Amino acid sequence: MVNMKGYLSRLIQEKKISLEGLQLPDIELDPGTIRVLMISEGPPQDPGDHFYSTSPAAVDRRSALALFSGAGIAVADLKALLAKGIYITTAVKSPKDQYRVDPERIKAHLPILEAELQLFPNLQVVMLMGDVAKKAFNIIAKRATKKNAVPSGSTYKIRETPLYYNHIRLFPSYIMTGGNLLIEKSKVEMITEDIQTMIKLIDGKMQ
């Protein structure tokens, strides 16, 4: 078992990454069981609203569980998702201080996201929840392959095209947290469709 907060904290110290206000996933997991990495944009302003917060009313966790419930996957908490092989993280590990996440912040946090990617030997799927996640993953992919893994273009146009990074299936989707989920019903529907497709894929019910 690996405690993700401890694992990533050691990496940050070893690489001498100077980052303030980090919110790291405080959860224990078995890396070999993780088949899906779901990358959200970034943590909330209030650490109590983080996916892995101990607060019973954590906003980001409630949003994630509601999306899975809408996709027909009713789970009580994120430990239940981990048991299904699904790990949720963020592309950047500190809250944004303006409307958009600064590209330099995305690059500064990449070593942490890369360490998460490399930890899971049986990864089958990466879900990219929003533009920040797509940008971060494309930088990682371009360093390795000299090309983007996710093509440019509107998400609704590319989300149904099977995309791969090596053997890993990529799902470009939409931001899974925030107040917009309450008003952008079409995006909620597309996210739940993507989750349903992902579940079928890892369960071996589709190619």
Helix/strand/coil for 111: helix
Give, in degrees to the nearest 5, the angle at Cα 120 between 73 and 18: 105
Give, for all 207 residues of the chain, the pLDDT tens digit. Answer: 999 999 999 989 887 777 678 999 999 999 999 999 999 999 999 999 999 999 988 999 999 999 999 999 989 899 999 999 999 999 999 888 777 788 888 998 999 999 999 999 999 999 999 999 999 999 999 999 999 999 988 888 888 889 999 999 999 999 998 766 666 788 999 999 999 999 999 987 654
Sign of torsion, CA 7 95 42 143?
A: negative
Minimal CA–CA distance to 171: which of 185, 161, 179? 161
Tell me, what's the pLDDT at 207?
A: 45
Query: In whole angstroms, how far apart are CA 119 and each of 4, 8, 24, 112, 115?
Result: 10, 11, 15, 11, 6
CATH superfamily of 2-202: Uracil-DNA glycosylase-like domain (3.40.470.10)
